[in-house]
A = this chain, B = another copy of it.
């Protein structure tokens, strides 16, 4: 449970808010690279943390992320022409490059100094892991790109997408750090409890262990990028089924189900405003390329990927109650909503546009949620007091994995991390 002030701090991302300033100390994905498929392609509107921006890929392939207002009389550069290394306003032809520099003012005399005085806001961008990343913070606090593993593997080893979530980012992120909910939200209906949920992304044994133990024991270990969390459920015999999850500041996580050799999954939450966010979703397999069938399945919506339209808005969404089917809910799935990603989206949206954390009854399985809030609020307060987040300056600290492991109950979380990842924090040594 948080105070009203803490809840505000955790959930607001506008410029000047403590949360907004904290987020603005990190690189964040603002588009998929494929949304800007070629040099001089159409620009795309980008809204991030309440800022209306315009992204365009210039003739050289560089991505500009700029304030879309022409300084002359305020026309919207979105309607502009992306041509010859700049975006040109169609009203009077003023032109700006990806760094916001004014290149041409055709309706001012050549001797005018306007070109030097006129700039538009432009944020630095990078491309990594098929995502366009931007940094919206102060120039003197420029961080490193987080070296998420999805960007380390070759393109043939990964699939990246995004989906719109129609609520505040933080409650959706909390859902990923609360792996106890797998025992309910993603299960079949009790009457078919013995069968396997066809949508469950795990095999029969793991499914059964998750189903049968709704109260996993949580362990948390902090590291340079955030923390790694283990949740142990009873498995068969004397064994425990461990599911581990990474939280990386400010808003990345990786998922808990992956056994060695299987595909890894990750999420990054980026506020559009305080009542909606993009969730960038990644799948990667460091050991082998993803084949065409796997890609097709992920592109069609599977696991962390929602079924989305061409605008990346989930087809099952707040506006249509996720196509909730009460007959399916009664007889087949626990929720009546198809898709693990959609089940998550539904329950997160249902907490309200901004979850009210001043009225809660938390339990031991909310350990990850509690630690997340504490970590975020501490980081926000530090920035308020002038200390930038050390993790932002340490891109290498983000080379992390999480996943599953089955081991005798005599082993502790530290043993599990070593057995599963060869590293106490799940660090990729490559």
Residue of B nearest to A42 (CB): B326
Q: How far is the CA of A184 from the CA of B70 in the complex (A)?
A: 15
A108 at the interface (CB under 8 A from B): yes
Question: In the bound complex, do residue B359 and residue A74 qualify as a contact, i.e. CB atoms below 8 Å apart?
Answer: yes
Question: In the bound complex, do residue A363 and residue B105 qualify as a contact, i.e. CB atoms below 8 Å apart?
Answer: yes
Name the interface size band of chain A. 35 or more
Stretch from A90-98, A142-150, A392-400 forming part of the interface with B: A90-98
Chain A, range 321-349, C-beta contacts under 8 Å to B:
324, 326, 329-330, 334-335, 337, 343, 346-347
Question: In the bound complex, do residue B350 and residue A76 qualify as a contact, i.e. CB atoms below 8 Å apart?
Answer: yes
Q: How far is the CA of A74 from the CA of B1 in the complex (A)?
A: 11
Q: Which of B74, B105, B346, B369 makes the CB contact (< 8 A) with A360? A: B74
Q: Which of B105, B112, B214, B360 makes the CB contact (< 8 A) with A71? A: B360
Q: How far is the CA of A190 from the CA of B76 in the complex (A)?
A: 20
Taking the closest CB of chain B, its distance from the CB of A187, in whole angstroms, is 9
A386 at the interface (CB under 8 A from B): no
Q: Copies of this chain, how many?
A: 3
Question: In the bound complex, do residue B360 and residue A73 qualify as a contact, i.e. CB atoms below 8 Å apart?
Answer: yes
Q: How far is the CA of A357 from the CA of B90 in the complex (A)?
A: 19
A75 at the interface (CB under 8 A from B): yes
Question: In the bound complex, do residue B108 and residue A351 qualify as a contact, i.e. CB atoms below 8 Å apart?
Answer: no
Question: In the bound complex, do residue B107 and residue A214 qualify as a contact, i.e. CB atoms below 8 Å apart?
Answer: yes
Q: How far is the CA of A154 from the CA of B73 in the complex (A)?
A: 40
Taking the closest CB of chain B, its distance from the CB of A353, in whole angstroms, is 11
The proximity string for A residues 309-325 relative to B, scoring 1 for CB distances below 8 Å and 0 otherwise, is 00000000000000010
The proximity string for A residues 273-292 relative to B, scoring 1 for CB distances below 8 Å and 0 otherwise, is 00000000000000000000
Taking the closest CB of chain B, its distance from the CB of A191, in whole angstroms, is 10
Q: Which of B71, B105, B108, B350 makes the CB contact (< 8 A) with A78? A: B350
A352 at the interface (CB under 8 A from B): yes
**Neighbouring B residues of A346 by C-beta, 8 Å:** 79
Question: In the bound complex, do residue B184 and residue A362 qualify as a contact, i.e. CB atoms below 8 Å apart?
Answer: no
Taking the closest CB of chain B, its distance from the CB of A39, in whole angstroms, is 12
A117 at the interface (CB under 8 A from B): yes
A183 at the interface (CB under 8 A from B): yes
A72 at the interface (CB under 8 A from B): yes
Q: Which of B75, B215, B359 makes the CB contact (< 8 A) with A108? A: B215
Question: In the bound complex, do residue A335 and residue B106 qualify as a contact, i.e. CB atoms below 8 Å apart?
Answer: no
Residue of B nearest to A191 (CB): B83
A141 at the interface (CB under 8 A from B): no
Q: Which of B74, B326, B337, B351 makes the CB contact (< 8 A) with A74? A: B351
A237 at the interface (CB under 8 A from B): no
Q: Which of B42, B91, B174, B330 makes the CB contact (< 8 A) with A347? A: B91
A81 at the interface (CB under 8 A from B): yes
29 A-B pairs with CB atoms under 8 Å apart are A42-B326, A71-B360, A73-B174, A74-B352, A74-B356, A74-B359, A75-B350, A78-B350, A79-B346, A81-B189, A81-B329, A81-B330, A83-B330, A90-B184, A90-B334, A90-B347, A91-B347, A92-B180, A93-B214, A105-B363, A106-B214, A107-B183, A107-B215, A107-B365, A108-B364, A109-B364, A112-B363, A117-B361, A118-B361
